[in-house]
Amino acid sequence: MSSMLPELFRFTIHKSNQGRMVRQFTFFAIAVVAAFGCLTLANGPLMSYPKSIQVGVPTLVWVVCCWIAFRIVNVPRFADFLVSVESELEKVTWPDRQEVIQATVVVLCTMFFLGLFLFLIDLVWTWLFAFIGFTEYKA
């Protein structure tokens, strides 16, 4: 933690031309999560306070969280990790439209038949338990 504190007050961007997209998405994801937390703070514990506090405190918390998120994605170790993530994502071969449709049909059919199978098994066990008097059958 002691090595993280000086990192929060730097204004440089580590390897600014590498891993840009992954860093931006990571920053925006953290900022959105912080925004939802600040909305919860404003509409929850701060609801009874004056409007200036109800709006000002969550806004200040969100700005601080955004600054911390910006600095976190530029910490050298984490930035290098995000750069390597982006380089690995560039190596991925994504399926074409036909493959996606075929895989979707397979998944939907599998789920339908699995649901049907489990429904029938449930009916059999319900009937069996009612037959031996363990439970009452309720149709």
The number of C-alpha atoms within 13 Å of 8 and in the hemisphere containing its C-beta is: 11
What pLDDT, on the 0 to 100 scale, is given for residue 4?
64
Q: Chain-centre distance of CA 31, in angstroms?
A: 12
Angle, nearest 10°, between helix axes 20-43 and 51-72? 160
CA distance 137 to 90: 58
Mean pLDDT by 10 residues, the chain (139 residues): 62 70 91 96 91 93 92 84 88 93 98 98 92 75
The residue type at 126: T
What pLDDT digit, counting tens, does each position of 53-62 carry?
Answer: 999 999 999 9
Question: What is d(CA 4, CA 68) in angstroms, rounded to the nearest whole number?
Answer: 10
Report pLDDT for 7. 65
Nearest to 66 by CA among 22, 32, 15, 39: 32
Distance CA(46)–CA(136), nearest Å, equals: 52
pLDDT tens across 2-20, in order?
Answer: 566 666 666 666 666 777 7
